[in-house]
Amino acid sequence: MDQTIIERWNRKVQEDDHVYIVGDVAFQNICPVEDYLKQLKGQKHPILGSHEQIANSETAKGFSKPLIRWEVQDVDRRVCLYHYPLAEWNGASKGVWHIYGHIHAVKNDAYPFKKAAESTKRRGLHQPL
């Protein structure tokens, strides 16, 4: 499975592409994370997730400086990238997109918001490899 993901990634991503990873780049992996990252094309920009601490690990060798949140310009659209869904973000009322990693289906006070955010994500704001 790991090799399939690497091959599919490298078919889509070129060395000079910028790839923003919205957290959880490594979780219960078999090999050290840097072994995977060095096989992946592109300039990898991490947003810290809940399953890694890139800033203080060997993982940092395959990445640019890790951040909690990134705001980027993608052609004609600004995008806010964060591991978790946000209720509000810089420029939300002005067309700025928010792309996030994932949510958990834990039924707490935030659950209705999370479900609404997940349905928004499923409308095509992400593109799987």
pLDDT for residue 25: 75
The answer to the question of residue 127 being in a domain is: no
Alpha carbon distance, N-terminus to C-terminus of the chain = 13
Domain count, the chain: 1
The CATH number for 97's domain is 3.60.21.10
Assess contact for 47 and 82: CB atoms under 8 A.
Answer: yes
Strand-pair partners of 72: 79
Q: What is the pLDDT of residues 19-63, one digit of tens each?
A: 888 877 777 777 877 788 889 999 988 887 776 655 455 555 666
Share the mean pLDDT of the chain: 76
Lowest-confidence region among 72-76, 96-100, 103-107: 103-107
pLDDT for residue 60: 56
Q: What is the DSSP letter of 6?
A: H
pLDDT for residue 72: 87
Q: Which residue has the tokens 């997940």?
A: 118
User: Would you place residue 125 in the very low, low, confident or very high pLDDT band (cuts 50, 70, 90)?
Assistant: very low
**How many residues make up the chain in this entry?**
129
Give 37's contacts (C-beta < 8 A, 6+ positions apart).
Answer: 25, 44, 59, 61, 62, 63
CA angle in degrees (0–180, nearest 5) for 123-128-129: 160
Q: Which domain holds residue 31?
A: 2-121
Report whether pLDDT(124) > 80: no
